[in-house]
Amino acid sequence: MIPFDNFILSLVTYATIITTSLFFYLKYRYTFWQRQGCPVPLSPHIIYGHTKEVTKMKTWVGEHYANIYYNTDGYKFIGFYQFQKPKLMLRDLDIIKDVFTKEFSTFPNRGIVFDDKLEPLTGNLLTLEGHKWKVLRNKLTPAFTIGKIKNMIDLIDGRAQEMVTILQISAENGNQVEFKELLARFSTDVISIVAFGFETNSLANPDAEFRKVGRMLFSTSRETIIRNALNALAPNLIGILKVRSIKKEYADFFYNVVNNTVKYREENDIQRNDFLDLLMKIKRGHNLASEEDSKSIFEENESKEDFEFTMEVLAAQCFVWFIGGYETSSITLTFTFYELAQNLEVQRRAQEEIDTILSKHDGNLTYDVLQEMIYLDMIVSEALRKYPPVPNLTRKAVKSYKFPDSDFTLAKGLQVVIPVYGIHNDPKYWPEPEKFIPERFTEDEKRNRPQYAYVPFGAGPRLCIGMRFGTMQVKVALVRILSAYNVSLSKNMKVPVKLNPKTIPANPEGGMFIHVTKRNR
């Protein structure tokens, strides 16, 4: 029998050996970039790497990566670590341009971990890679042509005018309005009618089923935290442990809604001018490109093979459009109104333009009428500059890549990060970036600024396919509200020194409250 003292000594010895071994193992892992010949200007934490602040939720991911970007000035690219996972941050706009476009064949994927067998809804255009993504992108691109989108504006305008009616009650009573919630309900109704062809009535009923699902999809859950941690530490375990990114009850609800709607339309021979109708045509083997004479974004011989466009694939595309249209549009609208409520001269100019152009067209709002509103477009562009919907973009190398004018070669399988939020708020490209200045987007200003200093929707073949639709949705809401009301910040609004695009400035009770008053014209 081992004496107790010897047992304790052995335990301490083993613990010391294990701890020391782990320490030196981690130290070795954190020399990965140096061994590759890549600069690492910032020292990593022994546990968190370069993500300590964001892991401890002391900052949000866009600002955190922006801080890394700001603190490494003078470098074209730098290595950093998400825990022990090596990633490369791109700082040079010419390199970013090459990664998005010229070298797209080397960086075609986003590198998002997903399992479409476990979660069919994750097999969508955002996450898919390689041949499947290429074929799907070619099939879906004609569904987002200007001609198709023009036909959807009446559906959006109807929901916008309903929102104005709801605001009228608040304006008459002199009440403040929680704009973030109102605009989320508007976006939910727009996406549901345009994508699925049915009314969710979220504007009239804040507790509508679709609104509750949308709210829950973007809430932070225990599963989300676990999945994010595994993605940083051991992404292979996600599939083994069957960790879901979407709660099964919400995934099932969404799939059943799409599946039942498709069945009903097929059985009753119903055709509607919406996104689901276009997806059903693709599922039946129709070539939408021939209808719009839309050219493939790839060489004709690149995508000869096909894959089955199943009900699961169809539902996944509806899902990604729902989450994309719901979240990005409502957040962009919320911050646009927040800025207009503070910058009253910008608001006045926008209203004058809207009044003048609408009067020319008897109050009718079409896609072409929107194109005449140049200053409104500048306002939306500046909102997307200051508050990009996706703060960081990623690309994953499918083969090794030697960076130009450098001895450094990036190995296959590694991921690069483009710090969009950091670039969009870099004073080198945007003097006084904290100010809201729509005039940054005059034609002269755009010509005099590097193109890739502004990438709110990405660039290249993986440019956001719903970009036109999303900006149209935002503009329609702005036109209808600003033509009827003035907006100003609530006196109770608590505005933080530095805004977080994911947490909306709030009053002490929560929410983003704005006063609306009827315009006297």
What helix, strand, coil percent values describe the chain, rounded to 5? 55, 10, 35
Alpha-carbon distance 444 to 160, whole Å? 33
Alpha-carbon distance 146 to 370, whole Å? 13
Cβ-based neighbours of 174, under 8 Å, separated by 6 or more: 515, 517
Which one-letter amino acid corresponds to residue 109?
N
How far is residue 237 from each of residues 87, 233, 414, measured CA to CA in Å? 19, 9, 18
* Phi, psi (rounded to 5 degrees) for 281: -65, -40
Residue with tokens 């009718």: 364
139 three-class SS: helix
464 annotated ligand binder: yes
Structure tokens at 403: 């960076």
Alpha-carbon distance 464 to 76, whole Å? 25
Q: Which of 314, 322, 203, 324 is nearest to 260 (CA)?
A: 314
Structure tokens at 88: 């490369």
How far is residue 64 from each of residues 45, 54, 70, 71, 225, measured CA to CA in Å? 15, 6, 10, 11, 17
CA 58 to chain centre: 22
Structure tokens at 10: 């052995």
Structure tokens at 203: 């504007």
Alpha-carbon distance 163 to 167, whole Å? 6
How far is residue 93 from each of residues 61, 100, 420, 421, 430, measured CA to CA in Å? 21, 10, 11, 14, 14
Q: Which helix (H) or strand (E) holds 189?
A: helix 179-191
Q: Which of 286, 321, 289, 296 is nearest to 142 (CA)?
A: 289
Q: Which helix (H) or strand (E) holds 90?
A: strand 85-90
Q: Which of 504, 472, 237, 269 is nearest to 377 (CA)?
A: 472
CA 6 to chain centre: 59
How far is residue 167 from each of residues 163, 177, 203, 329, 484, measured CA to CA in Å? 6, 8, 11, 19, 10
Which one-letter amino acid corresponds to residue 455?
V
DSSP string for 263-278? HHHHHTT---SSHHHH
Per this entry, what is the length of the chain? Answer: 521
Pick out the residues of the known binding site for heme: 464
Pick out the residues of the known binding site: 464
